[in-house]
Amino acid sequence: MSSGAGPAKTIGVAGAGTMGAGIAQLACLSGARTLLHDPAGEALEGGLERIRGHLARGVERGRLSAEEAEVAGSRLAPAPALEDFAEAELVIEAAPERLELKRQLFARLSEEIVSEQCVLATNTSSLLVTAVAGAAKRPERVVGMHFFNPPPLMRLLEVVAGEQSSDAAVALARATGEAMGKHVIVAADGPGFLVNRCNRPFALEALKLLQEGIAPLQEIDRICRLGGGFRMGPFELMDLVGVDVGLDVSRSFYEQSFGEPRWRPSPISVRTVAAGRLGRKSGRGFYDYSDNFGPPNQHRPADPGPLAPGGGEGLIVIAGHSALADALGGAASAAGWEVVRPEQAQDREPPFLILDLSLGEDVDAPLQGGPQAICCAAGSLTALDPGGGAVGFHALPPFDEASLVELTRGPDSAQSAATAAERFFASLGKHTTWVGDAPGLVLGRIVCQVINEAAFALAERVGSAEDVDAGMVHGLNYPRGILRWGDEIGLDHVLAVLDGLYDERREERYRAAPLLRSLAISGRLGRLTGEGFFRHED
């Protein structure tokens, strides 16, 4: 969607490192005269050479014509001094993440060099745009333009409006981003803006799971890939970004929020950084990369391929009304099982397996006569079946896209229930893995916490629901928009996991967002009811 304003025709980029050079590459390809500055001459020349090399490779790979690359290169020029930005309509800084350095840069630009109409944009990902803008002569002309790394490849641009940013400045930044071919979202100023804020629980909840011993880190990553469709698990991602970088961001969030429990840093990260295990860049983080910096996934074994569904024979009882219950019923029928509701199982042969997905709702008929598997959403298996012989399981819709289901057991779980659950899910074409007991198990905890954070951000008007989802997909490679994922799961299911965690842990990090609870109370549960975070016509 067009912003209604034209893009900047002359763009200055301050900082010629990887980020700055990538932004300058986008700028010259968009049709703008592009001026690249760096106070270090060698860095400036290196940035220019990097851009020329990328343009040449674009031609070799067929992404650009030779003429397009030549014209783009002709628009790019060095700016050895900041004074060379005098005619710029937009200056984007890509300087190191130090507040005073950025403030000094914007103060000098706005007071001595650029026109009063020039928009100054900061590429910060962790500092407040408002704090940077405070040093400028006209803070209303300052915005955030948060590019994701590497800028030429990542599709998202987050335009951030500070407390004093004018509509005109935001519109110019947005139009310029669109001219660069980016999907542009607009966020209000605050810790992490929109995308990085909503994604905080992806790492923090994984660290909490590890701290509690629910699963080893390798298994947490594997569950996220196979069960959730993520390209990388949270520990792999932390290693890629830098464990020290992630810890600094966590500390910044926690300090800026005056101690918000949802954003408390993990002591595991502190110890990992103290040991010098910073991730890929140091050869070791949560994984060991010391023998290889080449293929990105050599540190982990290959994920297993899909299982062939089928072979079901016998009676399956499914209790509960939810998206997951419906999906399990459909998959079981397709695999050859006879699927019935509890009230239909009376006076029938003993069922092969009884699946309880009631989420606390009343069941019309007793669940007995066969081994049981309880969906661990509203609580842990220990809380839902104290002293019982059932096993627990958890998975998230869309169930047909997942290739793994998590299982858990208690001290009294019957081996017959464990064996039946493994065989049943294998017949649906799903791998299984055994993890420790907790509401939501592994994937459910992580995803429901991300949905919860997004609900907090949405209610606080940090961004729209559409921009939240676009940001997670285009900025972080999520398998789907997180709020639409919540609607697919069912907001009653999401709320059950969060309330179960809060009841059993008594930690404020698990308090549900008021918006999420309000939607659930009003019956707007997502796709099944036609409305949740979004309206659903189908």
Q: Residue 2's pLDDT is what?
A: 40
Q: Residue 461's pLDDT is what?
A: 97
Q: Residue 295's pLDDT is what?
A: 57
Q: Hey, what domains does the chain have and what are their CATH numbers?
A: 10-189 (3.40.50.720), 194-298+442-538 (1.10.1040.50), 315-434 (3.40.50.720)
Catalytic position from the list 126, 196, 269, 322: 196
Q: Residue 1's pLDDT is what?
A: 38
β-strands 142-147, 156-161 pairing: antiparallel
Q: Residue 296's pLDDT is what?
A: 56
Q: Residue 3's pLDDT is what?
A: 46
Q: Residue 391's pLDDT is what?
A: 98
Task: Judge whether 493 counts as a catalytic residue.
Answer: no
- pLDDT of 19 > 80? The answer is yes
Query: pLDDT of 350-406, one tens digit each?
Result: 999 999 998 866 655 557 789 999 999 999 999 999 989 999 999 999 999 999 999
Q: What percent of the chain has pLDDT over 90?
A: 91
Q: Residue 297's pLDDT is what?
A: 63
Query: pLDDT of 97-155, one tens digit each?
Result: 999 999 999 999 999 999 999 999 999 988 999 999 999 999 999 999 999 989 999 99
Task: Judge whether 250 counts as a catalytic residue.
Answer: no
Paired tokens of 452: 């919860």
Q: Residue 538's pLDDT is what?
A: 73
Separation between Cα atoms, residue 469 and residue 480, nearest integer Å: 7
Catalytic position from the list 37, 54, 146, 431: 146
Catalytic position from the list 158, 219, 406, 453: 158
Query: pLDDT of 262-288, one tens digit each?
Result: 999 999 999 999 999 999 999 999 999
Report the candidate in 20, 161, 186, 154 with the shortest Cα–Cα distance to residue 92.
Answer: 20
- pLDDT of 88 > 90? The answer is yes
For 318, list phi and psi in degrees, rounded to 5: -120, 120
Catalytic position from the list 110, 123, 125, 322: 125
Task: Judge whether 464 counts as a catalytic residue.
Answer: no
**What is the rounded average pLDDT for all residues in the chain?**
94
Task: Judge whether 146 counts as a catalytic residue.
Answer: yes
User: For 305-327, what is the mean pLDDT?
Assistant: 93
Separation between Cα atoms, residue 401 and residue 300, nearest integer Å: 22
Q: How far is CA 172 from CA 34, 89, 181, in A?
A: 16, 9, 14
Separation between Cα atoms, residue 75 and residue 94, nearest integer Å: 19
Report the candidate in 381, 445, 434, 375 with the shortest Cα–Cα distance to residue 407.
Answer: 434
Of all helices (H) and strands (E), which one includes residue 157? Answer: strand 156-161
Q: Residue 499's pLDDT is what?
A: 97
Q: How far is CA 361 from CA 56, 225, 364, in A?
A: 62, 31, 10
